[in-house]
Amino acid sequence: MSARPRTRTVLIPALALLAVAAGCGSDGDSTGDGGDQIELTYWTHTHPPMTELNKQLIAEYEEANPNVTITYETIPNNDFGTKMLTSLSNGSGPDIINMDDSALRGEYIPKQLLAPIEPSAFGAESVEELEALYVDGTLDGAKGDDGTLYGVPSEFNATAFAINTQHFAEAGLDPANPPATWDDVSEYGQQLVAAGHEGFNFVYLHAGWYTQQLQTLLNETGGSILNDDGTASALTEPKSVEALQIWHDLIREDEVGNADTASREATSPFEDFASGRRSMTMIYPWAVEQIAQDNPETFENLAVVPLPQVDPANPSGRWYGYYFAVNKASEQQEEAWKFIEYMTSQHDRWLTDVNFVQPLKDWEQSEAAANIPFLEVWSQAYQQGKFDEVGPHWSEVQDAIKAAVERSIFDGQPPAESLEEASESVDQSVTS
Amino acid sequence: MALTRTAPARARSGRARAPRPGRSGWRRRRNAVGLAFALPALVLFAAFAIYPMLRVFQLSLYDYNLTSPPVWVGLDNFRLLFGDERFLASLGASLFYVVVTYGPAVLLALVLALGLNTRMRGSAFVRLLYFAPVATSWVAVSVIWRLVLQPEGLLNQTLNTDIPWLTSSTWAKWAIAIAAIWKEVGFFLIIFLAGLQNIPKDLQEAAALDGAGSLRRLRYVTLPLLKPITVVVLVMAIIRGFQSFSPQVVLTGGSFGTEVINLFVYKTAFASARMGRASAVAVVMFILLLMVTFVQLRALRKSA
């Protein structure tokens, strides 16, 4: 072979390979050639009012810090956990995350995916000094077993109950006398159904939602998902079965709602209540603002009342929070914490604009809090909450709970039998 | 085979020629150029198909959660799988989906292909209509069917029923099968049509002259000659069935007994970060499908 054809033989494919490689690598340098130019990425779930405020705050921060560019992405709620966990695990995740406490405590912190908090970014000399700014216990959702803190709350939620006062009036019920127990919910619900409404229902979205609602009932009945040392299922314990029985009886026996026709739009979880189809629902502070924005008419007839109880003499509730945290693999951790400090410094706007409570001490006394609707109810709800349980391979446990609820609520399987099946799956997940 | 036949013949004829040096050199050059052009594609194929596949085999022997270094566990992942109710249920869900969807879809495709294998006016347009769902993405099709299968959707209205198609363990798997049959028939229809058009017309005419009616011609001429295509269709049907993922994700999220094997693999790998166990499922399915395909091809060879 002469030298020329041989050169061609080698050169042409080599150039082709080079072109492909160049195409693959054309993403560019994240910091560019600008020297001090800093690029941060920030991911959240999808909640339209929150997204809007995030965009405003990012624009303000970028204006005040011209060398910083923040790429903000919202991930569809059903995919949020999976996408975030996978990307953080392979080192390609965002610099800044906003994630719920179950995921943080169940997956991200044990897997060492997050950077410990940097108190100096918040003007504090120590973590203790930073913690002292917040209501006791509210930062526990972002702590590891060893007490290391990994984030600060973007929102901190307690659980209350919403009623549509107009529906109540139509059914001959007194909105000033809301249901205090689940038996009341059943009784009122049936009257509301007779008046042409869906009386009450739970929300049927992804496994996380199923689990958190069952957890709310478990907190009231004294049941739990796992045993005390977290090594086995406790779902077959009578108090645990009682929780699912409440759910089952309301929907299957008393027929205060129809699970088959419930909305499954994860971006707007309270769509059925907001649209005026449903009369009663469990609710969180952030949902009130979404209803106000999307359905002003329903908002006019909305009353937030205390969560119905199994034992009103010993009320119980459920807390959960979303926390700003920083990816351990981020090369811009210092800048990421500075941005988070700015986000949390705007706590009054989070409260006023989107009803997100950032639980700084005496938040209820602030001017912003004075203007949020039903402050007294929320304030009371924050007194009686606790964080959800978590354990090893928690997403599998949540899937098992979702399947158990579906068997019981949609297929009519008795709760004890359904939880027996779930219990086997949970045991397998937490022990293997 | 061809070379061994021609070489002695040439020797006998006494006209065997020594290969021209320039000719073999030209061939080598041509092959080298061809190889060089194929190389980029081969490299990419090896990097993005072969290597990941080999890694899956390797990972199936490890416990790996993406963040900690993999830990060798030997065959433990496989042992655990066969005691895992969820895995066995998803295997059952996949099997149900394959049988209930692809059995009727293949049969319907064959019947429609026989009907459309004519020069009837407008038959091309009808074929196009049947093929339209195939060209549409599974996600788009699933979104449409989600609306059709709602409690107050088109299907219940048409049948005058009140069936919770997507929220019942009794009905959800059938609902997905109905949507899948609608989507997949066109794919097999086109393959059967291609097979039918390759059957020589003179065979049909000869059978007709011998007095065979249309049913006898179908039984003794058309179907036997379609057998190779039918086997290909069945192999493809089984593989496509076991690869199903999108309709289950969009229509039910895997609830109500519709968590098929691919969805189980996805959740195990990415929601639970159990990469080793997910890889073990992929290996099991690979071997299973390989065996099924092998058996089908053997059956074809025997009957041919």
Closest by CA position to A202, among listed A133, A264, A143, A151 = A264
According to DSSP, residue B253 is labeled T
SS3 of A20-42: HHHHHCCCCCCCCCCCCCEEEEE
Q: Write the Ramachandran bin of A327: left for phi over 0, alpha for psi from -120 to 50, otherwise beta.
A: beta
Number of domains in chain A: 2
Q: What is the mean pLDDT of chain A?
A: 90
| A83-133 per-position pLDDT tens digit | 898 898 888 899 999 999 999 998 899 888 999 999 999 999 999 999 999
The predicted model gives A399-407 an average pLDDT of 97
Residue-range definition of the domain harbouring residue B194: 79-303
CATH number of the domain residue A90 falls in: 3.40.190.10
Residue A233 C-alpha, separation from nearest chain B C-alpha, in angstroms? 16
Residue B31 C-alpha, separation from nearest chain A C-alpha, in angstroms? 10
Number of domains in chain B: 1
Interface test with A, best of B67, B161, B166, B277 (most A CBs within 10 A): B67
Please state the separation of Cα B233 from the chain's center in Å: 8
Q: How far apart are CA B47 and CA B78, in angstroms?
A: 26
pLDDT of residue A218: 97
Residues of chain B in contact with residue A402, where contact means CB-CB under 8 angstroms, are 255
Domain assignment present for residue B136? The answer is yes
CA dihedral A262, A266, A268, A270 (to 10 degrees): 40
Residue A30 C-alpha, separation from nearest chain B C-alpha, in angstroms? 24
Structure tokens at A116: 């410990």
pLDDT of residue B21: 58
DSSP A74-108: EE-HHHHHHHHHHHHHTT-S-SEEEEEHHHIIIII
Report whether pLDDT(A281) > 60.
yes
The predicted model gives A219-238 an average pLDDT of 96
pLDDT above 90 as % of chain B? 70
Q: How confident is the model at residue B24 (pLDDT cuts 50, 70, 90)?
A: confident
Q: Are residues A283 and A419 in the same domain?
A: yes
A16, B32: Cβ pair inside 8 Å?
A: no
Tell me which chain B residue has its CA closest to the CA of residue A107.
B272
Which amino acid is located at A96 in the chain?
I
Q: Are residues A117 and A189 in the same domain?
A: no
Give the angle subtended at the CA of A219 by the CAs of A218 and A223, to the nearest 5°. Answer: 45
Report whether pLDDT(A13) > 70.
no
What's the number of CA atoms in the CB half-sphere (13 Å) around residue B23?
Answer: 4
Q: How far apart are CA A312 and CA A282, in angstroms?
A: 16
Q: Are residues A167 and A128 in the same domain?
A: no
DSSP H helices, B136-245, are 138-148, 154-159, 172-197, 201-209, 214-217, 223-242
Q: How far apart are CA B258 and CA B249, in angstroms?
A: 9
Domain assignment present for residue B258? The answer is yes
Report whether pLDDT(A400) > 50.
yes
Q: Are residues A166 and A235 in the same domain?
A: yes
Report whether pLDDT(B14) > 80.
no
Q: Are residues A118 and A227 in the same domain?
A: no
Residue A253, C-beta contacts closer than 8 angstroms, at least 6 positions apart? none
- Of the three residues A343, A367, A383, the one that is the final residue of a domain is A383
Q: How confident is the model at residue B159 (pLDDT cuts 50, 70, 90)?
A: very high
Tell me which chain A residue has its CA closest to the CA of residue B164.
A260
CB atoms within 10 A of CB B89: 14
Residue B261 near residue B94, CB atoms below 8 Å: yes
A3 vs A282 pLDDT, higher one: A282
Q: Are residues A242 and A332 in the same domain?
A: no
Residues of chain B in contact with residue A259, where contact means CB-CB under 8 angstroms, are 167
Q: How far apart are CA A270 and CA A302, in angstroms?
A: 13
**Backbone phi and psi for residue B18, each to the nearest 5 degrees, phi listed first:** -70, 140
The predicted model gives B2-9 an average pLDDT of 43
Q: How far apart are CA B202 and CA B207, in angstroms?
A: 8
The predicted model gives A298-312 an average pLDDT of 96
User: Chains A, B: CB contacts under 8 A, how many?
Assistant: 87
pLDDT of residue B25: 85
Domain assignment present for residue B47? The answer is no
CA distances from A100 to A151, A341, B107, B181, B184 (A): 11, 18, 50, 40, 40
Q: Write the Ramachandran bin of B160: left for phi over 0, alpha for psi from -120 to 50, otherwise beta.
A: left
Domain assignment present for residue B286? The answer is yes
Give the angle subtended at the CA of B74 by the CAs of B68 and B75, to the nearest 5°. Answer: 120
Residue B291 C-alpha, separation from nearest chain A C-alpha, in angstroms? 30
Q: Are residues A233 and A147 in the same domain?
A: no
CA dihedral B67, B73, B79, B81 (to 10 degrees): 10
The H or E element that residue A43 is part of is: strand A38-45
Domain assignment present for residue B15? The answer is no
pLDDT of residue B12: 47
Q: Are residues A258 and A201 in the same domain?
A: yes
A66 vs A20 pLDDT, higher one: A66
The predicted model gives A389-409 an average pLDDT of 94
Q: How far apart are CA A88 and CA A80, in angstroms?
A: 12
pLDDT of residue A132: 96
Q: Are residues A201 and A261 in the same domain?
A: yes
Residue A137 near residue A147, CB atoms below 8 Å: no
pLDDT of residue A111: 87
pLDDT of residue B4: 42
Q: Write the Ramachandran bin of B14: left for phi over 0, alpha for psi from -120 to 50, otherwise beta.
A: left
Residue A316 near residue A384, CB atoms below 8 Å: yes
Burial class of residue A201 (count of CB atoms within 10 Å of its CB; 0-12, 13-18, 19+): buried
Report whether pLDDT(B203) > 80.
yes
Q: Are residues A241 and A366 in the same domain?
A: no
Residues of chain B in contact with residue A399, where contact means CB-CB under 8 angstroms, are 267, 271
Q: Are residues A293 and A422 in the same domain?
A: yes
Q: How confident is the model at residue A265 (pLDDT cuts 50, 70, 90)?
A: confident
pLDDT of residue B19: 55
Domain assignment present for residue B295? The answer is yes
Closest by CA position to B52, among listed B301, B300, B278 = B278
pLDDT above 90 as % of chain A? 75
| B62-100 per-position pLDDT tens digit | 999 888 889 999 999 999 998 899 999 999 999 999 999
CA distances from B190 to A333, B103, B127, B222 (A): 57, 16, 8, 16
Report whether pLDDT(A22) > 80.
no
Which amino acid is located at B7 in the chain?
A
Residue-range definition of the domain harbouring residue A245: 160-318+389-431
Closest by CA position to B86, among listed B245, B240, B249, B254 = B254
Instruction: Write down the pTM of the prediction.
Output: 0.84
CATH number of the domain residue B274 falls in: 1.10.3720.10
Q: Are residues A206 and A137 in the same domain?
A: no
Domain assignment present for residue B123? The answer is yes
pLDDT of residue A3: 45
- Give the least confident one: A190-199, A261-270, A291-300, B58-67: A261-270
What's the number of CA atoms in the CB half-sphere (13 Å) around residue A12?
Answer: 13
DSSP A355-379: -----BTTGGGSHHHHTSTTHHHHH
Domain assignment present for residue A351? The answer is yes
pLDDT of residue A19: 42
Report whether pLDDT(B2) > 60.
no
Q: What is the mean pLDDT of chain B?
A: 89
